[in-house]
Structure 1
């Protein structure tokens, strides 16, 4: 997608942009939650190394899997137009329709906390692997249902699987549905080339969501939901932080001018200050 966007924007012949496939630690380790073995850096460290060494000019990331603190030597130069930000439930018509005590497979602390807030009777089962692996586990009856990002399903040609969960029910992860392209901060030619494919609304929204998450100071263990919508140069940011069991939740929202992400940071700090201990202990800033 990123290569095709660049070729179209610059009127390059197809194939001009070479795609280098790098298998990350996040791809290789499938039997444990990422938070237990290194967090989101497992999706980025190999790509970062190739970029810094000059083996590649740019890295393409799913923004929900990118740490909010990035090396100064690297720059998030562009984001492609955002896809569907929602989660999709596979295995039932709705969260309410799940049978009492149903097993739901997910490795996401956010999804687990949000589900348990809505349905404390559910049993959360750690669930990792690619789409085929997860669907096979579901088919085999290891779980009754699972949740996956709608954007990822769409990009794999499986957008009709499951049912979408409204963001009023489950806020997405910061950056969900967005593809970011990163390059070296001193590579001015690549920075300029990537600028041609940057979707400004997506970039503004994701940067606001990431500013909120960064100010919280949490880890992969910290359940955080955030979604920013852009209207007329204004950001409308909706956020929530939860305890791991979903029993405690703090939700809020803010409106501010595009680019004024200090408002998102202030919102995060205010929410932490008013959060119960069950939530504060999950965030380094708390």
Structure 2
């Protein structure tokens, strides 16, 4: 094990936490490693909503390029940020055991506003659409930046609250007391999961990463991402998906929303473990055949 595995990562506190977690796991297995932090376009451009930047791969592209230029050997990502189609020559190396999948609302002055009107901050089309679906009298403002920046912006503004992924705040011990779980909100596909990618030709790193893979998490996020891929067709849309193992079955819940949250098309199904091939696509087709094609056409027209 003489090769030093260079671990590419974004340089935010959360990204570095994730990369350090992978580094420790590899070092515990006897591998030598080195962290290589880089800044992504998504971290540098904070004055535009993500969908205006061309969201697909905005947080991962810089690391993909670094890997293909042989500046890093592997890269660690929040899996929900990773496009469903990886660049040519880059493959999944490991999906670590999934953390908390929930979205949470961090509120400024209590939650009485839920019964009246309020202003919620989020940079996510999915969270915005689901919030407006449940609270149509509320307004939603754009919120960008890493989790530390977004928490500070919430403190500095007179918003009612902001929506975060629970896992991100928990990982860097930033989860405050003034929050509520949004159990009704369907998370992003692969939310709470960490993905490590490697070059397809790099057998040494692929072998090393295979020891970190968590099979139940892999099965669930692959179903969610297959659902996302079949629905999106290359277009960013408000899509939620969650697959969870329960004994011998995988329970799945997915939904597509219109951008304004008025329309919601949902699917709830389960499949026996071992029979999940094509399941994500089948759930997506159920949505598409139940009015989803029309909603997707409207979303593409609005975004483009």
TM-score by length of structure 1 reads 0.90
Decide whether the 8 Å contact of 1:235 with 1:258 is kept in 2. Answer: no
Decide whether the 8 Å contact of 1:90 with 1:162 is kept in 2. Answer: yes
Cα shift readout 1:172-203 (whole Å, capped 9, x = no counterpart) = 00010011000011211111110001111111
Decide whether the 8 Å contact of 2:93 with 2:198 is kept in 1. Answer: yes
Which residue of 151, 156, 166 maps to 1:140?
Answer: 156
Alignment partner, residue 213 of structure 2: 198
**Distance in 1 separating the partners of 2:274 and 2:250:** 6
- Whether 1:183 aligns to 2:198 is yes
**Distance in 2 separating the partners of 1:155 and 1:137:** 20
Which residue of 228, 247, 254 maps to 2:269?
Answer: 254
Higher strand proportion: 2
Quote how far apart the aligned CAs of 1:230 are: 1.7
Quote how far apart the aligned CAs of 1:51 are: 1.0
Decide whether the 8 Å contact of 2:106 with 2:180 is kept in 1. Answer: no
Please give the residue correspondences for 1:139-158 in structure 2 after superposition, counting only pairs within 5 Å. 139-158=155-174
| CA distance 1:262–1:49, change in 2 (3 Å) | same
| CA distance 1:282–1:4, change in 2 (3 Å) | farther
| CA distance 1:283–1:244, change in 2 (3 Å) | closer
Decide whether the 8 Å contact of 2:113 with 2:160 is kept in 1. Answer: no
Alignment partner, residue 38 of structure 1: 54
- Whether 1:74 aligns to 2:97 is no
Cα root mean square deviation, aligned: 2.1
Gaps of 5+ in 1: none
Please give the residue correspondences for 1:76-91 in structure 2 after superposition, counting only pairs within 5 Å. 76-91=92-107
TM-score by length of structure 2 reads 0.85
Cα shift readout 1:94-133 (whole Å, capped 9, x = no counterpart) = 8774363311111101100110111001101011122333
Gaps of 5+ in 2: 1-20
**Distance in 2 separating the partners of 1:104 and 1:250:** 23
Higher helix proportion: 2
